[in-house]
A and B are shown apart, each in its own frame.
Chain A
């Protein structure tokens, strides 16, 4: 059987996370762990953490996934996107000793999304695949700034500093990269009157 790091390709992250959410399935959770722990570990190490800190955060992320799975729904985004956001928050929480601010679906102040549809889950999956393809096809110089933003959590001026480039150059590469992704992403929010 075709495998991904020794695990069957049928181990689709979205299906696994649904099983964790709906039936508290530990086998599905372990499969998610085997799929994501080495990637989360790679991401934490790339962000400059040592082996011990990185593994502590990997554990922290996977615990949050287990306990907060009820908050995930496939209509809102892929399992990978949700876990990315959790990993980002865990990393910042550990560094700043504070909770990364995030909106809350149960907030009385939340303005609901009128465009939300029941068939969004399928659309989210297609989008995720398309985004993955678009990212893999980015030219090297654009991929470099996108990776610096996502893996190193750097803003444009910091990326420019790190690469020894003008801020304008980094901004235009990011704009080009996002422009390519924009084919598949929601257009930027327009300024109103």
Chain B
């Protein structure tokens, strides 16, 4: 899996690169629109993380350029602007998803995995951990092929944890993911534990969710 990060802020690139490389992705970077265009037309990437505000060629122009050049690589827009109009504009120009700054790495991982899964046809829609299988399309969970009845919230918490397999996910990030930006994640993060408790009960003893004291939860990568 090869990912290109386009952002004019070296520190952000550095952090994103670190995080993605931890997840065993290969990462390439570009600091401005021109450099990005060159790299995109020269290499085959599986995903492009694209900042909208870029020097030389801005993100939206760059996006329509590469779409005109028949490059269908999925693009995840990263931007400091997060109004609805900007979102629509981005998606209209051919972006696959949209992430407003500041975002958590957990959210980025989830979106990244989700996009990669969505666009690749040869990959199954099933995510598995141990005996647990999660179908991202039908939004069903089975344990040893027995369906488990989960609420919408519980499903999206578990899905988020699986997408971040091998990474600790904080309560706050979980809350933000589940309830969205409109809720106050400070008050909502207190309720993640209630949900986790319920999820564990439904999945049984072999649920793979490990509590990391003081921080959050993790589903460990299988050895």
Do chains A and B interact in one complex? no
